[in-house]
Amino acid sequence: MNLSRKLRIWHRGEIYHITARGNRKGKIYEEPGDYRKYLQILKETQAQHAYTLHGYCLMPNHVHLLIEMVEASPSQIMKTAHTRYAMYYNFRYDLVGHLFQGRFKSQVVYSKDYLLTVSRYIHQNPVKAGLVDHPEGYPWSSYNHFIDIPQLPPTTPKLTPLVSTNKILSFFPDSHEYQMFVESNDYENDIENGPLLVT
C-alpha cells in the first residue's frame, strides 16, 4: 500500500479556503492573548511569504483562512505560521507534541459566487457554533473589517493591516450590502450544500 501523501498543486492568483484544527479536536487558543499572537504570526508570515488574506475566523479549536497565493504556496505559508504558533503555544503552556491535527485542508475557490459563499460561511462560523448571536460580536474574525470600513473612492484600496477586503467588497455597492448578504437567513443552505470543509 502506498502511504505517501498526495502532492498538492498550487497556482499563483488562485484563492484557497484553508482550514486546520487542533489535535484530537482540542483547543488551539486558551485566552485572548493566544488569538492575538496567532494574528501577529500571520502578519509576520505575510511579510516573509507574500500572500493576500481575504478573510479569517479563529475558532477555539480550528481556524479558517481565505488565502490568495501570490508567491509562496499555502503549504509554505501554513508550515511557517503553524510551526511558529505551535512553538509559542507549547512553551506558554508547558506542553509537547503536535498542536494541530495532521495536514491542513484546502479547497480552491473556483468562482466569484463560491468566494462570496465561503466568505459568508467563514464569518458566520461563530454564530453557527453558538458562540455569538451575530457575526459582528465575535472578535476573532475579519468580519468587522468588512462592515466598519468607511466609504472610500472606488480607486482606493480598502486594506487593513492584515486583511484585504477590496476584492470581496467590490462585488457589493457598499459594506452595508455585504453585511446584509452575510447575515441573510439563507446562509445555512450554502453551509449544507457547499464543499466548505466543515471542521
* The pLDDT of residue 5: 59
Alpha-carbon span 114 to 126, nearest angstrom: 20
* Domain annotation covers residue 35: yes
- Using one digit for the tens of pLDDT, what is the confidence trace for 155-184? 444 444 799 999 999 999 999 999 999 998
**Residue with the larger pLDDT of the pair 151 and 44:** 44
- 65, β-bridge pairs: 18, 56
Is a pLDDT exceeding 50 seen at residue 151? no
Does 109 map to a domain?
A: yes
Domain membership of residue 36 as a residue range: 15-193
Kindly report the CATH number assigned to the domain that includes residue 132.
Answer: 3.30.70.1290
Can you give the pTM of this predicted structure?
Answer: 0.85
Q: What is the mean pLDDT of the chain?
A: 86
125/122 Cα distance (integer angstroms): 5
Of 128, 124, 125, 140, which is closest to residue 179 (Cα–Cα)? 124
Total tally of structural domains belonging to the chain: 1
Rounded Cα gap, residues 67 and 119, in angstroms: 11
- pLDDT at residue 6 greater than cutoff 90: no
Please check whether residue 149 lies inside any domain of the structure. yes
Residue 188 belongs to a domain: yes
Residue 98 CA to its chain's centroid (Å): 21
Residue 4 located in a structural domain = no
- Distance of CA 20 to CAs 28, 151, 156, Å? 10, 34, 33
